[in-house]
Amino acid sequence: MSQTRDIFEDAIQRLDDAFKYANIESEALEILKHPKIIIQVSIPVRMDDGTLKIFEGYRVRHNDTRGPGKGGIRFHHQVNLSEVKALAFWMTCKCAVVGIPFGGAKGGVIVNPKELSKLELERLSRGFIRQIADFIGPEIDIPAPDVYTNAMIMGWMMDEYSKIARRRTPAVITGKPIPLGGSLGRDDATGRGAYYCLKELEVKRNWNPGEIKVAVQGFGNAGQHVARLLHEDGYKIVAVSDSKGGIYNSSGFDIPSLIKTKNESKQLKAVYCHGSVCEAITADILKNEELLELDIDVLIPAALENQITKKNADKIRANVVVEVANGPTTSEADRILKDKKILVIPDILANAGGVTVSYFEWVQNKTGYYWQIDEVNTKLQKIMSTEFNAVYSFMTENNIDMRTAAYAHSLSRIGQGIQSLGTKSYFTDE
Ligand code: NAD
């Protein structure tokens, strides 16, 4: 994750591009350039060896015009405030793109979770919630999982918040384990949402899935599920990678066995091992940079931000980039991809399936009525397909790129909310 540019400043630049296509006044735009609340906390954690370690964490509520803040909590050693602000901003736009009644928020703790024991991780998770408890709540700001946080961590966090609130409060957090009020379908919702976008594109481009080569950077929660669903439909997943490196097979991988291997061994084994244990997977070894530059049809960055930059954008050979990760493409790289006529399905649309099913989870928690998996997936598909097509049509009608169209679509919705309380023209009768 290169931090050469301030990622928040880079992120909000996209607003200016979209402004002229959006139905929004300039003062509403100005509000969106400034996060509403920024909290920085210190989290003291007693480590297993008896020492006390202090971790630093953040929670940013970017905007809550359309509803309570919504956004994940990331545990990563490279977390920084600018990144959390950018992620919160993207959440505001993302919730509006898919029309769900939430604003945007995000949290992060600077930690390498792989270095913590399970008990240390639990203490850190509960400690973070104690520090931010006054700033979150079912009607205020609702966290969720993000990079290196998972359902169990959400369960600990919900449990800790419930103790503080002295009442069981499942709607304070989403992405929980199912027995604690999680929604069916939340685990694969992000990958599934991206998959539904691609299914719409498949129709528009008249694709035969068997001829479409796909590479997935980042084989975690989001990356695995989109790869699995595409593979089930016959797409050829020819390359995948994780933080340690990537693997390539021109005939396409059997994704279920790759998922099994990765989840059992915590790595894409073929990257490292030689000989017997890896015989099940035939693959060439790839560096992460090489995966991005492969001669394929669809590139799916599903790891971290700032992966496609001005340094490598010119080398991207895919026709379509599906941004399952948040912010994988810098604004400079965006311009290069646009010149190369590569269609980028932007993050705020492509990975919005996760927050959409988080919204379903929150609705179920608040009503106490839980849905079957078919109901979740059908509702998700309806939202993703409708909003994908709305953004796609806006793009073609205005002859702009899909990111600008997605931002304009979301800005119009947020703008309507902000402007409903009055604007300069209303108060001055101009
Ligand atoms: P995860 O922790 O489950 O997986 C991340 C994966 O990326 C891991 O396999 C890791 O090894 C890999 N990775 C890390 N650095 C890498 C690198 N430099 N090159 C290649 N792989 C690398 O996280 P996730 O939940 O799948 O999230 C991935 C991305 O999707 C993030 O940008 C996240 O913000 C975004 N996202 C996730 C969700 C969700 O519901 N999980 C929702 C919206 C957006």
Ligand 1 midpoint to CA 71 (Å): 15
339: pLDDT strictly greater than 90: yes
**In this structure, CATH architecture of domain 36-170:** 3-Layer(aba) Sandwich (3.40)
Sorted by where each begins, the domain ranges of the chain are 36-170, 189-350
Q: Which atom of ligand 1 is nearest to the CA of 351?
A: 43
Question: What average pLDDT score do residues 151-156 get?
Answer: 97
CA-nearest residue, atom 17 of ligand 1? 243
Write the pLDDT tens digit of every residue in 276-330.
434 456 778 888 889 999 999 999 999 988 999 999 999 999 999 999 998 999 9
Distance 212 CA to ligand 1 centre (A): 23
Q: What pLDDT does 423 receive?
A: 86
pLDDT at 425 over 90: no
Q: How many whole angstroms from 416 Cα to the centroid of ligand 1?
A: 33
What is the CATH T-level fold of the domain 189-350, as seen in this structure? Rossmann fold (3.40.50)
User: Which of 77, 243, 266 maximizes ligand 1 atoms within 8 Å of its Cβ, making it the mutation to test the pocket?
Assistant: 243
pLDDT at residue number 264: 80
> Across residues 389-395, what is the average pLDDT?
98
Which atom number of ligand 1 is nearest to the Cα of residue 328? 32
Q: Residue 3 has what pLDDT? A: 46
Angle, alpha carbons 73-86-160 (nearest 5°): 20
**Which pLDDT tens digit goes with each residue over 41-91?**
999 999 999 999 999 999 999 999 999 999 999 999 999 999 999 999 999
Q: Whose CA is nearest to atom 5 of ligand 1?
A: 220
CB atoms within 10 A of CB 112: 11
Residue nearest to atom 19 of ligand 1 (CA): 243
Q: Whose CA is nearest to atom 14 of ligand 1?
A: 243
| pLDDT computed for residue 276 by the predictor | 40
* Ligand 1 atom 34: residue of nearest CA: 326
Write the pLDDT tens digit of every residue in 344-367.
999 999 999 999 999 999 999 999
pLDDT at 274 over 70: no
CA 220–ligand 1 middle distance (angstroms): 5
Of 36, 70, 85, 106, the catalytic one is 106
Q: How far apart are CA 26 and CA 156, in angstroms?
A: 42
**Sheet containing 236-242: which strands, arranged edge to edge?**
284-286, 245-248, 236-242, 213-217, 298-301, 320-322, 343-345
The model's pLDDT over 107-140, given as tens digits with 9 standing for 90+, comes to 999 999 999 999 999 999 999 999 999 999 999 9
Q: Residue 267: pLDDT above 80?
A: no
Dist. CA 166 → ligand 1 center (Å): 34
Does residue 106 carry a catalytic annotation?
Answer: yes
Residue 152 binned pLDDT confidence (cut-offs 50, 70, 90): very high
Ligand 1 centre distance from Cα of residue 148 (Å) = 8
CA of 74 to the centre of ligand 1 (A): 10
Closest atom of ligand 1 to CA, residue 148: 2
- Ligand 1 atom nearest the C-alpha of 144 is 40
Residue 93 and residue 414: Cα distance in Å, rounded?
A: 8
Residue closest to 36 by CA, chosen among 13, 66, 14, 78: 66
Q: How many residues does the chain have?
A: 430
Shared fold status for 36-170 and 189-350: yes
Distance in Å, CA 150 to ligand 1 centroid: 12
pLDDT tens track for 88-116 = 999 999 999 999 999 999 999 999 999 99
Q: What is the pLDDT of residue 280?
A: 53
| Residue ranges around ligand 1 (CB below 6 Å) | 145-148, 190, 217-223, 241-243, 288, 302-304, 324-326, 351, 354
Determine the residue of 100, 102, 111, 147 to mutate for testing ligand 1's pocket, defined as the one with the most ligand atoms within 8 A of the Cβ atom. Answer: 147
Atom of ligand 1 nearest to the CA of 217: 20
Give, using CA atoms, the residue closest to atom 18 of ligand 1.
243
Ligand 1 atom with the shortest distance to the CA of 327: 32
